[in-house]
């Protein structure tokens, strides 16, 4: 009795199933998305390793106090940077798995909102000018409104597609 084949994973399995159906540009796009996801995964792993090797020993020895405002800002900023990178990688994986043909604007806006949130966390309000804080707040508000509008549009398109399947044909 032959041994069962191990599944190569969802990414490779999806690629092999659709590869013959793809045109040259789609294949190129898929390979680029795969390479980018590997590079970002390596950067995330290295950043996490750096965070662990620098912070954990300091926390265990009591050399830094996580309740100190500046230390908390630094630690939380590093953690949020990792979360932003993970969301970025997730958006590329969706392209590689052919769930979406290109990186979606809504995802880019979400990543920008995460980056803005990180900026507010690490911002030193004693040093930063009021105009800069106001500009960052306005940019965050605009990004939030754009994200809300994009989400409402997607919800409306999904609802239209459920009620009239032919309505989804013109979707990006």
Q: What is the DSSP annotation of 58-118?
A: HHHHTSS-TTSHHHHHHHHHHHHHHHHHHHHHHHHHHHHTTSSSS--HHHHHHHHHHHHHH
CB 91 within 8 A of CB 104: yes
Which pTM was predicted?
A: 0.66
Spans in the chain with pLDDT lower than 50: 1-8, 170-172
Question: Residue 15 has what pLDDT?
Answer: 64
User: What pLDDT sits at residue 55?
Assistant: 84
Closest CA to 118 of 83, 88, 92: 83
pLDDT score at 77: 86
pLDDT tens digit sequence for 25-34: 877 877 888 8
Burial string for 131-140 (b: 16+ CB within 10 Å, else e) reads eeeeeeeeeb
Where residue 95 falls (left for φ over 0; alpha for ψ -120 to 50; beta otherwise) is alpha
> What's the pLDDT tens digit per position in 72-99?
788 888 888 899 999 888 888 877 666 6
Predicted pLDDT of residue 8: 46
């Amino acid at each position: 009795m032959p041994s069962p084949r191990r599944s190569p994973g969802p990414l490779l399995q999806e690629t092999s199933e659709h590869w013959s159906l793809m045109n040259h540009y789609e294949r190129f796009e898929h390979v680029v998305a795969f390479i980018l996801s590997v590079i970002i995964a390596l950067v995330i792993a290295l950043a996490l390793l750096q965070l662990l090797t620098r912070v954990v020993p300091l926390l265990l020895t009591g050399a830094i106090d996580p309740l100190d405002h500046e230390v908390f800002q630094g630690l939380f900023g590093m953690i949020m940077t990792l979360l932003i990178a993970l969301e970025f990688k997730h958006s590329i994986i969706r392209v590689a798995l052919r769930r979406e043909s290109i990186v979606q604007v809504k995802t880019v806006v979400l990543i920008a909102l995460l980056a803005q949130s990180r900026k507010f966390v690490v911002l030193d309000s004693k040093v930063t000018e009021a105009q800069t804080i106001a500009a960052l707040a306005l940019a965050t508000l605009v990004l939030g409104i754009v994200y809300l509008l994009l989400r409402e549009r997607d919800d409306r398109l999904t609802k239209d597609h459920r009620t009239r399947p032919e309505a989804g044909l013109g979707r990006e």
